[in-house]
Amino acid sequence: MNEALCPLLHACCVPVLGQRRALICDTQRGVLVEVPGALLRLLEEHRGLSLGAIGAASGHPEAVTAAIRRLVDEDLAFLTAHPERFPALDRSWRSPAPLLRAILERDAGSRWSLEAALAELAALRCRHVLIRTREPRPAVGAVMAAIGARHPLTVDWQLLDTAEDPAALLASWPKISSLVFHEADGVEASADGRARWTTAPLRLGAVAPASLAGMAVNVETVCEATHHHPFFNRMVTVSADGRLRNGPSTPQVFGRIGETAIAEVIASPAFRALWDAHRGRIEDCRGCAYRLVCTDGRALSLGEDGVFRAERGCALGG
């Protein structure tokens, strides 16, 4: 390799140093690549310097050259004589929508109107809704018809069963991005993956622990997570009993659907506090290499020191 050239990570390959591991988040291919932390540190600290200069600064020029060659071979980095022409990814984040996501939980005892809640969300231009329901045989098609051409733009369903044909529902309602049947007899998926059957329980009022499968390796999440909590940001949850919360497992209640307007709830500074709880403000996440792609939604409490702490530990953290 020409030692006069400068090695740079592609702009879509975002480096993240953690306490236990270092990752490159390849947001174009949607994958995480584990790399030596010392190498990422060198590339960050000596950004814009030539390969020869970085090797000399490391004290191990041959090893550094070999490691950078691997990054180039894996198409994570490239060499250039003009590093100034290739700025790092702009990680600023903005959204015109007052609300991005909502979780609506239902069970057989839910007395609040799902259609009325969806109308409120549509007025707020909420982009994505997850409906999690333990109701027997919910009327999926009727709910989708009530949404029609309005917001949300996408709807995920988690349910136990339905009297309707899943394939016909997906064909009729392109807004359904997934239809996941929990507590099924076996594991199965439709050819396009939009309909899935799983033996996993459907637990309302709870969120799944962080997992590698749940990482969202894309530019939108990296930019949002740099400034905000990528699960709670611009999100509202309606519990099965109609209580309005930040997330399914967050204890603080901000009113009841049908009695308190969602617009009023999301304007409240107390409700918005979690929106800005980016991982750098969460005690056990700030040193984790997954912090820019992790969408974990554990409940958080804010200490007097301004640091958020999670309700329970994370086995994945790194």
CB of 156 to ligand SF4, least distance (A): 21
What is the spatial distance between Cα 133 and Cα 191, in angstroms, rounded to a whole number? 24
- Residue of the chain from 294, 297, 300, 308 that contacts ligand SF4 (CB under 6 A): 294
Nearer to ligand SF4, 120 or 296 (CB): 296
Minimum gap (Å) between residue 211 Cβ and ligand SF4: 8
The yes or no reply on residue 288 touching ligand SF4 (CB under 6 A) is: yes
Considering only the stretches 123-131, 198-206, 243-251, 289-297, report the one whose residues sit in contact with ligand SF4 under the rule CB under 6 A: 289-297
Residue 9 or 288 with smaller CB distance to ligand SF4: 288
- Tokens representing 223? 């930019």
Q: Does 5 bind ligand SF4 (CB under 6 A)?
A: no
For 70-92, b where at least 16 C-beta lie within 10 A, e where not — what string? ebeeeebbebeeebeeeeebeee
CA distance 117 to 125: 13
Does 16 bind ligand SF4 (CB under 6 A)? Our answer is: no
Q: What are the beta bridge partners of residue 159?
A: 181
106 is a site residue for ligand SF4 (CB under 6 A): no
291, amino acid identity: R
CB of 310 to ligand SF4, least distance (A): 7
The single residue among 26, 120, 224, 296 that binds ligand SF4, judged by CB under 6 A, is: 296
What is d(CA 170, CA 240) in angstroms, rounded to the nearest whole number? 25
Q: Determine the 3-state secondary structure of 187 from DSSP.
A: coil
154 neighbors 128 (Cβ within 8 angstroms): yes
228 counts as binding ligand SF4 under rule CB under 6 A: no
For residue 14, state whether it binds ligand SF4 (rule: CB under 6 A).
Answer: no
In order, the DSSP letters of 249-306 are T------BBTTB-HHHHHT-HHHHGGGG--GGGBTTTTT-TTTTT------EEE-TTS
**Which DSSP symbol is given to 213?**
G
314 binds ligand SF4 per the rule CB under 6 A: yes
Residues 6+ apart with CB under 8 A from 219: 12, 27, 89
Query: Is residue 317 a contact point for ligand SF4 (CB under 6 A)?
Result: yes
Q: Does 316 bind ligand SF4 (CB under 6 A)?
A: yes
Which residues contact residue 27 at a Cβ distance below 8 angstroms, ignoring those fewer than 6 apart? Answer: 12, 13, 14, 89, 217, 218, 219, 222
CB of 294 to ligand SF4, least distance (A): 3
Cβ 200 to ligand SF4 shortest distance, Å = 19
Site string for ligand SF4, 196-215 (x = CB under 6 A): --------------x-----
| 152 contributes a contact to ligand SF4 by CB under 6 A | no
Q: Which residues would be at the binding site for ligand SF4 (CB under 6 A)?
A: 210, 279, 284-285, 288, 290-291, 294, 296, 314, 316-317
